[in-house]
Structure 1
Amino acid sequence: MNSNLFFALYEGGPQVIAWSIVIDFFGAIAQAASIAEMASTVPIAGAQYHWTYHLAPQPVKRFATWMQGWMTWFRWVSLLAGASNISAIVVQQLVMLNNPNYVPQTWHVTLIMVIMLFTQGIINSIGWMFALVPWLELMAGILHICLFVVFMVIYTTMGTRHSGEWIFFEHQISSGWTNTYVAWNLGMLTCIWSFTGFDGAVHMSEEVRKAKEAVPRATFWSIALNGVLA
């Protein structure tokens, strides 16, 4: 989320970030709990579209299942593109920070994205490299928590501070929107993006031991933990 905080600041200022995290967390945890409940009953890789077929009313179940399947597919493709874009921007900013002579170009971000996606494709396609994925994910999870502590200590001891009033009540719209409601909701996308993808564990149900227990826990607690860290 830190990588695209500028979007929320642009659309409403610190107030949007502070309050939308709370709103998004409660919305996401409710969805995660619902999906976790379904996964505890029918843990299957198809997840949403499989459940839709069995639970939707008979007259619309085929169409609803078709729509759900494509929506889930499109969402995951969009999420991958978004994650790659944010990561590429971070890499470019690190280069700018360490090399004052570097002149950033928009196509550089696209090139970095392509390299990242190609690398991910190779890792997931070659057997012995795919075996590294669980270890990479474990390392990422450990770093996620450890670096949170590191950054919190650094920001608390060395960073400049604003008042609580500024954080929770300062409202600035720099995007040009005159409608506060529209700007506020656009700013919320920053935090919403950070609470997506929690159904990923469900799509791995057929590869997990004791799926009826492990998958719901992973689905629910991933949001609960990230909500606390946010």
Structure 2
Amino acid sequence: MAMKEDSQYLAYELQSRDASPARGSGSANDTVDMARMGKQQELRRNFRFFSIVGFVTILQATWESTLLASSFGLYNGGTAGVIWCTIAVWLCIMAMISCMAEMASMAPTAGGQYHWVSEFSPPSVEKPLSYVVGWCCCLGWVSGIPACGQLLTGLVQGMALLLNPEANVGALWQTTLLIFLFLILTFAFNIFLAKYLPLAEGVVLVVHTIGFFAFLLTLWVLSDHAPAKQVFTQFEDGGGWGSIGLSTLVGLSTPLWCFIGPDAGAHMSEELKDASLQLPRAMMWATLFNGIMGITMLITFCFCVSNVDEVLNSATGVPILDVVYKVTDSYAATCVLGTLLVILTFFSTVTVIAASSRQCWAFARDRGFPFSSWISQIQHGIPINALYVCFGVSAVLAAINFGSDVALNAIVSVSNAALIFSYIVSIGCVGLKRLRGEALLPRRFDLGRLGLPLNIVTMLFLLISFVFSFFPVAPSVGDPTWAADFNWAIVMFGAVIMLAMGYYLGGGKHKYVPPVRLVKND
């Protein structure tokens, strides 16, 4: 009976999508790609190459993240550890993004990884595997939203403490309410000003570049610099792991956070003109320039760190604010540069929300969620209901901070882990097809003979990153207070996997329509 209902639904879905007229202003290639995938054009294609480069660049916000999220890497690895790890991660991310850009050229869809898994994985595991990856993609993106809100809140609180060290602004309830405020503002932008998003990305890309040079020149010209030997060779084992190598690997969270989310452009592909060509180019150029700027800024920042412990125990809780104030000796200059970081991080959060909503909308379009019919509705050219769902889940996750900031820190870790898992499975499927000598889809961005080596290198890097995403800041074996330092991301990740499979086995498998079943091969 279930199979009969499934077949009837699929037939209706194919008929309705074939009958629906295309919308937007896409190219002829966009029309061909959407028709092959059996997808209806429902979103406006108002992004172009420059604006999608801006979108990916601002979302990654690499040089900003090196300043705001450097503490974990400095604690586990020191200046040398965080610099060399970031360089290595960037090179591996370039390999990874090239693999994803090739998949995006073959199938430019908002579904991203779960769609690619459905098309490229072995038929025997295609449906459940793509389903789990779909849930992981949504988990990774949505859990990243309150993490961005936490960075914004920390910046504002840090500037308040800089101006008034006695200010009472650090209570959990105050932090959580500030996160709620930023969630409301960034979601409001995505709902009411969505048509201006491409323009905003282009403008903010210019501000992103100007801000980079503003910080860089300030730190270069005004700061006293630590010796180069100390910066590039001094490793730290702040967590007490007993091994410099292990401690440095635990500190991978800093460079991973600086580069995570390169698939963001793929989730906007149905809003980009000539996506199968422009999207891969944009993903590659954005990650290349972000990496150059981010590593340059990180090395500059580390030259300003003469004492790692002093930076980690900064009075404001935001090391870069203390460093800027120390070198400028000016509250006004520090607050101006801090406000610039707030603006850039605000728009980074806006782009994270946009990518998250498109990912959830695409998965609901293929009936991957409960209440998918409602979530997948489009109003005024945007997935408004998917935005509401993302806001609701983000608010619930942020509310955890009322009781414990340890739990919210785990949410940051689970965002990394969930996205990395989706990258592992999707790239692994393409690598397996290459190993088997099976033909891949036509694409306008082709890795050629480098395809398999890049797939293998990327998989090794991602497997290591996935494992260390679940490590705590410090070991706590035998410590009666272990729960306070434990990284609960592994528990949250496992719970979501179990929830996804429970819903799938409980009836979701009869509703979920894997993307490959809508693909037209003729």
TM-score range, shorter chain: over 0.9
Confirm whether residue 194 of structure 1 aligns to residue 258 of structure 2: yes
For 1:21 and 1:64, the matched residues in 2 are separated by: 31
| Structure 2, unaligned runs of 5 or more | 1-64, 295-522
Q: Identify unmatched segments of 5+ residues in structure 1.
A: none
Kept after mapping to 1: 8 A contact 2:81/2:248:
yes
Given candidates 116, 121, 128, the residue that maps to 2:187 is 121
Q: Corresponding residue for 1:141?
A: 205
Q: How many residues align?
A: 228
For the residues of structure 1 that align with 2:171 and 2:180, how far apart are their CA atoms?
A: 15
Q: Is the 8 A contact 2:72 2:251 kept in 1?
A: yes
Q: Could you state the TM-score of these two structures normalised by the residue count of structure 1? A: 0.93
Decide which structure has the larger Cα Rg and report it: 2
* Greater RCO, 1 or 2 (C-alpha within 8 Å, sep 6+): 1
Q: CA RMSD in A?
A: 1.5
Residue matched to 2:219: 155
Where is the helix percentage greater, Structure 1 or Structure 2?
1
Q: Return the alpha-carbon distance in structure 2 between the equivalents of residues 137 and 111 of structure 1.
A: 27
Question: Could you tell me how far apart the structure 1 residues matched to 2:164 and 2:205 are?
Answer: 30
- Matched to 2:138, the amino acid is W
Query: Are the aligned partners of 1:40 and 1:213 in contact in 2 as well (CA < 8 Å)?
Result: yes
Taking structure 2 as the reference length, what is the TM-score of the superposition? Answer: 0.42
Give the drift of 1:20. 0.9
Deviation at 1:221, TM superposition (A): 1.3
Distance 1:4 1:201 in 2: 23
Query: Contact 2:236–2:244 at 8 Å: present in 1 too?
Result: no
Equivalent-residue separation in structure 2 for 1:196 and 1:125 (angstroms): 24
Instruction: Select 1:73's aligned residue among 124, 138, 141.
Output: 138
Percent sequence identity is 27
1:215 to 272, 279, 299: 279
Cα 1:86/1:133, change in 2 over 3 Å? same
CA deviations 1:137-196 (Å, max 9, x no partner) are: 223211211111111111111111112211111012222332434321221211111101
**Corresponding residue of 1:3:** 68
Is 1:53 the counterpart of 2:118? The answer is yes
Contact in 2 for aligned 1:16/1:188 (Cα 8 Å): no
Cα distance between partner residues in 1 of 2:203 and 2:226? 34
Q: Distance in 2 between matches of 1:140 and 1:83?
A: 17
2:178 matched residue in structure 1: 112
Q: Read off the aligned partner of 2:177 and give its amino acid letter.
A: L
Deviation of 1:207 (Å) = 0.9
Q: Return the letter of the residue paired with 1:94.
A: M
